[in-house]
Amino acid sequence: MNELDAITAAAKQAFAQAATPAELENVKAQFLGKSGRMTELMKGLAALSVEEKKSRGAAINLAKQAIEAALTDRRQALADAELQAQLQLEALDVSLPGRQRPGGGLHPVSLTLERIEGIFGSMGFEVADGPEIETDWFNFTALNTPENHPARSMHDTFYVEGGHVLRTHTSPMQIRHAVQHVKRHRALIDAGGAMPEIRVIAPGRTYRVDSDATHSPMFHQCEGLWIGENVSFKDLKVVFTDFCRTFFESSDLVLRFRPSFFPFTEPSAEIDIQFQNGPLAGRWLEVAGSGQVHPNVVRNMGLDPEKYIGFAFGMGPDRLTMLRYGVNDLRLFFDGDIRFLSQFQ
Ligand code: PHE
């Protein structure tokens, strides 16, 4: 092998061994740099005759071209490798399935409230909403509940600052809604005209100091109120029976109005239902308190109890939800466990 071939071979080998572009540029200097081996050979030409210069120069140039070509190839190869490595590093696996965002849904108790609103809506009841932090007047006094009534004890009620309470029931909405209604129709009422009937339900959150499998400190109630000039207990029976049969999709459902006591109704009754079929068949299940609105309460609504009369009821949507779906622990509704809640979607 002549000297030029040897240098060319050495250069190719050195280039091949350079692992990075920087290393390659260092190695290049050894062959093609100012004091590189090829430059030294060119310098040697000076001592030669014109003839020798021609042939030797051409040979050196050929070798130099071969080395430069090898260098270019190696540069390209290293750049390709670098790009490849970077692509690898930044690789996105576009075949991965997208992140699923599971569809949400309504809480089972919200489903019940929607159902209640739909059924009573079809019977001409409006839906009213009111505050959960309530004054003593609306929660107790206006509802004919005297100072010494056990419902007022610290034991049963969450008192908050300023003598306010977390409403213990939705019954304060009877007064709030009726007062607004009466205000709107005051002139008509005073003129002895026929006031449009008050027909409303008021669903919402209520609070009592109570906690076990069937009681939660926060729970739901739905109030119902129908006041007119000739609204009787019979109407309560018809409306509530219709409601229960529709709600539970059970036309042979039986209702029982069991005499009871509430300060704001007289007479008063607990409403029990009995299924004729299914796992709960034959048992009496309490679903609501009810009664004919007490004259003192009618007065607090701004109406004359000699002229206006009606009924009210308060039911437990949580209880209705438990019965409808066969849930035996009320706390499940408020734990926020997605495994439980997703069953109702
Ligand atoms: N407010 C009563 C309760 O919470 C229920 C009720 C409402 C009773 C309306 C009669 C009339 O127990």
- The full set of domain ranges for the chain reads 3-89, 108-344
The response to whether residue 220 sits with its C-beta less than 6 Å from ligand 1 reads no
Q: What is the CA radius of gyration of the chain?
A: 45
Q: Stretch 260-283: mean pLDDT, rounded?
A: 96
Q: Measure 246 CA to ligand 1 centroid, in angstroms.
A: 22
Q: Which residue, judged by its Cα, is nearest atom 4 of ligand 1?
A: 169
Q: Which residue, judged by its Cα, is nearest atom 7 of ligand 1?
A: 314
Flag whether pLDDT at 295 surpasses 90: yes
The pLDDT value given to residue 45 = 87
Give the position, in ligand 1's atom list, of the atom nearest the Cα of 143: 1
Give the position, in ligand 1's atom list, of the atom nearest the Cα of 288: 5
Q: Measure 339 CA to ligand 1 centroid, in angstroms.
A: 33
The pLDDT value given to residue 155 = 60
Neighbours of 247 (CB within 10 A): 21
**194-198: long-range pairs with CB below 8 Å, 24+:** 194/229, 195/303, 195/308, 197/226, 197/227, 197/228, 197/231, 197/310, 198/225, 198/226, 198/227, 198/228, 198/310
Residues 6+ apart with CB under 8 A from 82: 21
Q: Measure 276 CA to ligand 1 centroid, in angstroms.
A: 26
What is the residue whose two structure tokens read 């909405």? 173
Burial (CB count within 10 angstroms: exposed 0-12, middle 13-18, buried 19+), residue 135: middle
Q: How far apart (Å, rounded) are the C-alpha atoms in residues 255 and 286?
A: 10
The pLDDT value given to residue 161 = 87
Q: For a pocket test of ligand 1, which of 171, 175, 293 has the largest count of ligand atoms closer than 8 A to its C-beta?
A: 171
Flag whether pLDDT at 150 surpasses 80: no
For domain 108-344, give the CATH superfamily. Answer: Bira Bifunctional Protein; Domain 2 (3.30.930.10)
Flag whether pLDDT at 226 surpasses 80: yes
Helices (H) and strands (E) in the chain, counts: 12, 9
Does an H or E element contain 219, and which? strand 218-228
Burial (CB count within 10 angstroms: exposed 0-12, middle 13-18, buried 19+), residue 88: exposed
Flag whether pLDDT at 239 surpasses 80: yes
The pLDDT value given to residue 154 = 59
pLDDT grade for 69, boundaries at 50, 70 and 90: very high
The response to whether residue 314 sits with its C-beta less than 6 Å from ligand 1 reads yes
Mean pLDDT of the chain: 93
What is the residue whose two structure tokens read 């108790």? 109
Flag whether pLDDT at 44 surpasses 90: no
Alpha helices in the chain (DSSP H): 3-17, 21-32, 37-44, 50-89, 108-122, 136-139, 172-184, 186-190, 233-247, 295-300, 317-325, 338-341
Least confident of 48-62, 225-239, 286-300: 48-62
Residues 6+ apart with CB under 8 A from 74: 15, 16, 18, 24
